[in-house]
Copies of this chain bind each other. A is one copy, B any other.
Amino acid sequence: MDLSYLSFNQITTNEQTLEEVVEACVKTGITWIAPWRHKIQATGLIKSAQIIKEAGLKVSSLCRGGMFPAATATERQQRLDDNRRAIDEAAKLGTDTLVLVCGPAPDRDIQAARKMVEEGIAALIPYAQEAGVKLGIEPLHPIFAGDRSVISTLGQSNTLTEHLASSQVGVIIDVYHVWWDPQLYNEIKRSEGHILGFHVNDWIKVTNPLTSRGMMGDGIIEIKKIRQAVQLTGYTGPIEVEILNEALWKEPCEETLKLIKTRFMEYV
């Protein structure tokens, strides 16, 4: 894929500060970046926005809001407050997209938790609209259904988007989370007009579900086929490279970025 689409998702080099990552992007000619909130917090929001702006980088999304289900109304309200802060941060950083990782159930009732997700996103819409930030519902691989997200399929994200019926809400598609889904290509078509982000990486042997994502080309995902289906819906936005991999985290940041560019051209 053309490198002008490449956005570097910061979690791919977990050991570096925002400054270091921005510098590496500039050096390697990557023009988009997707920061994470804990990294922004470490550097400071105002300073982070400044660093990114001065480097001339565009911000594809901020990761992450979400985590809506909780046992009590008070806790759910606190989660919403945190999401409003995330929306503010996204706006400040100059991106129009906040990625939502929706959260696990506080108990065994997964259907109730899914309802809390829908209510939570609905409650955020007016605030997001005012801030000019869209909410991207990212389905997470079912391996995370118990501890990270009760939204496990693109079908669920699409249904939520349709129910909420707001131009402020859409879906994020990450190949790691959706590649196995027998309904994938139907659901990508159904996402037409509300895809807010597209993430690439690869599926390699899973040792730790969280940190076993592979570099594009090292695994078995038909990345190009999925990318073509996503773009066929009319999506022309950036493509984030997001790889959570412990071995990769130990590599020098600039080397990783160079490798990503090569693999992006060949496998995405």
Contact B108 A182 (CB under 8 A): no
Our pick among B114, B155, B180, B206 for the contact of A152 (Cβ within 8 Å) is: B180
Residues of B within 8 A of A206 (CB): 143, 146, 209
Per-residue CB proximity of A91-123 to B under 8 Å, as 1/0?
000000000000001011110001000000000
Closest residue of B by beta carbon distance from A142: B180
Q: Does A75 contact B (CB under 8 A)?
A: no
Copies of this chain, complex-wide, total 2
- The answer, among B143, B153, B156, for a CB contact under 8 Å with A141, is B143
Q: Does A205 touch B at the CB level, under 8 Å?
A: yes
Bound: A180/B105 CA distance, A = 11
Looking at chain A's contact residues, the main secondary structure is loop
Is A155 a contact of B182 with CB atoms below 8 Å?
Answer: yes
Say yes or no: is A222 at the interface (Cβ < 8 Å to chain B): yes
Check A222–B109 contact: CB distance below 8 A: yes
How far, in angstroms, from A220 to B69 measured CA to CA in the complex? 15
Query: Which residues does chain B contribute within 8 Å of A147, judged by CB atoms?
Result: 205
Determine if A11 is an interface residue (Cβ-Cβ < 8 Å): no
Contact present for A220 and B143 (CB under 8 Å): no
Residues of A near any B CB (own CB < 8 A): 105, 107-110, 114, 141-143, 145-147, 150, 152-153, 155-156, 179-183, 203, 205-209, 219-222
**Other A-B pairs, 14, CB within 8 Å; known A146-B203, A150-B180:** A108-B222, A109-B222, A110-B179, A110-B180, A142-B181, A143-B209, A145-B179, A146-B180, A146-B205, A146-B220, A147-B205, A152-B182, A156-B182, A206-B209
